[in-house]
Amino acid sequence: MKLLQLTFATLLLASFSLIAQTQPEHEKGCGISIKSDWLVKYQHGEIPPARKSLMTQYIPVRMVVVGENDGNGYIDPTQLLQSFQLLNEDFASTNIQFYVSDYDFLDLSSLYDHSTTSIGSSLASNRRESNKINTFVVGTAGGACGYATPRTNYLVMDKDCMGRIDRTWAHEMGHVFTLAHTFYGWESVEEISNIELTERAPSTLSYRGRNVPVERTDGSNCEDAADGFCDTAPDYLMERWACNIAGEYRDSLTDPDSIRFAVPAQNIMSYASDACVNTFSEEQKTAMITNMSTRSDFSSNSSGEGAVAANGEDMNLLLPEHNVTLPYNNFVELVWNETPNADFYIVQMNRSNNFNGNILFTRVVTDTSVVFDEGLLDNTRYYWRVRPFNAYQVESDFGDQVFRFRNGDFPVNTIDAALNAAITIAPNPVAGGQDLRIIGQDLGLSSNLTYDLIDASGRVLLTRENLPVAAAGFNERIETGTLPAGVYFLRLRMNEKLVTKRVVITP
């Protein structure tokens, strides 16, 4: 036995280091292991099972992308959306689908990198919003790949456990809908290497102050043992494990009746590695559907029926125009068109046109413009691109257009904070037909005012040059009767100082 233990431990180590080469974080487990009272009642027949809805039920998911206090460390939205697509594939057969209700950024180092799940839980719990499932994506999730508490509306994910092949999100969502691990009870055993493979398992395990029966292969105690589902196989494996080519644990285990059995690796609520798992059992699905129908902490609806993915080919970048040199500025506003079927836009700006590595600036917004104000360098070239996506059908590509602009090196034309404060545009937004007023107050000295009105595609619609203005101030009117509703820019220049103001004309 001793020899077998040793051999086993060595093999295990080897298989894990093999995983580590390609999937560095996948040896992490999930940080949760509570069986909910709801699930126990349901499995005892006190809550009748719900039928699967014929209409797909869409559940809002709020993305909370957590960074450090200085805004570093956010997960790449492309990676997050790939993970989200896989989450929806894993739930497709339940007729439960998730959609992106919000995409928020939160700069909070104590949550971004937290050492225990209890610290992370309390920070995340305080920052969740109601009526949706909040997914907090962090740098370090207390050493786990993710965790969730049954019957709460939030979960926490390690960003390194998200992507095209990572199943952690579906696993944690299973916990949100009250599912327990297939190896429930064995969480108290710290390592697989502590299981005596050829010796029979004990008939009970002490776990969280209770005696949990160990599941037998003959099905005689499947309703009370382990996860309480009879269509999930006995599973005693509480650490991440890789499956063999047959899709099973590579060795057999021995149940309390001394019967040897193989552990299948397909169930998402097991700890088999991402490449092995791909499904929930039918009983697990029915439990989740039933739990969803009883939940009041988030809503579900069928509003996503017929949703169509946005198309990057419909993306038109507008401002700054391609290849322009801008007056020197420490910020820039990027503007693009409203793209059909798009609910969100991923915006990336970089100092080179290679967007594969570290990217200077990435944001996800619902508007068709965003301000980059993190210290634009003078005399420097920048590249930017945008990917539209639909909240329900998130697959899409970046538009083919990559625009570049050069930030100028004319420090005299600097955006001037004092001038910016002295000039007001009112009303803004302005209803079309109503006059737009440019009001200057306490200018310090008399001067000449030059201004341009520019539309969202960069065309100059109106220019006034060298209007004498008094130090006390001025009041200039622009007629808007001929201007269609939309976003415009007023570029004002006085005493070699520049101010740009964004103006919205409403119908």
Q: Is 277 in the site for Zn ion (CB under 5 A)?
A: no
What 447-451 contacts at long range (C-beta under 8 Å, 24+ apart), as own/partner pairs, is 447/471, 447/494, 447/495, 448/494, 449/474, 449/476, 449/492, 449/493, 449/494, 450/492, 450/493, 450/494, 451/476, 451/490, 451/491, 451/492, 451/493
Stretch that binds Zn ion, among 22-30, 71-79, 88-96, 187-195 (CB under 5 A): 22-30
Site string for Zn ion, 323-362 (x = CB under 5 A): ----------------------------------------
To the nearest whole angstrom, how small is the minimum distance from the Cβ of residue 170 to Zn ion? 11
- Which of residues 265 and 364 has its CB atom nearest to Zn ion in the complex? 265
Q: For the chain, what is the largest distance between any 2 Cα atoms, rounded to a whole number of angstroms?
A: 98
Ramachandran sector of residue 226 (left: φ over 0; alpha: ψ -120 to 50; beta: rest)? left
User: What type of residue is 73?
Assistant: G
Alpha helices (runs of H) in 325-432, residue ranges in sequence order: 417-422
Identify the residue among 12, 19, 26, 30 touching Zn ion (CB under 5 A): 30
Interaction residues for Zn ion, span 79-108 (CB under 5 A)? none
To the nearest whole angstrom, how small is the minimum distance from the Cβ of residue 257 to Zn ion? 27
DSSP annotation of 244: -
Stretch that binds Zn ion, among 27-35, 71-79, 382-390, 467-475 (CB under 5 A): 27-35
Task: Give CA–CA dist 288/324, Å, rounded.
Answer: 54
- Which of residues 30 and 161 has its CB atom nearest to Zn ion in the complex? 30
What is the separation of C-alpha 179 from the centre of its chain, rounded to a whole number of angstroms? 22
- Which of residues 190 and 409 has its CB atom nearest to Zn ion in the complex? 190
Paired strand residues for 476 = 438
To the nearest whole angstrom, how small is the minimum distance from the Cβ of residue 156 to Zn ion? 12
Q: Which two tokens stand for residue 108?
A: 């909070």
To the nearest whole angstrom, how small is the minimum distance from the Cβ of residue 174 to Zn ion? 8
- Which of residues 30 and 173 has its CB atom nearest to Zn ion in the complex? 30
- Which of residues 117 and 348 has its CB atom nearest to Zn ion in the complex? 117
- Which of residues 32 and 469 has its CB atom nearest to Zn ion in the complex? 32
Q: Determine the residue with CB nearest Zn ion.
A: 30
To the nearest whole angstrom, how small is the minimum distance from the Cβ of residue 187 to Zn ion? 9
Of the candidates 170, 150, 147, 149, the one whose C-alpha atom is nearest the C-alpha of residue 158 is: 147
Count of residues that bind Zn ion according to CB under 5 A: 1
Which residues would be at the binding site for Zn ion (CB under 5 A)?
A: 30
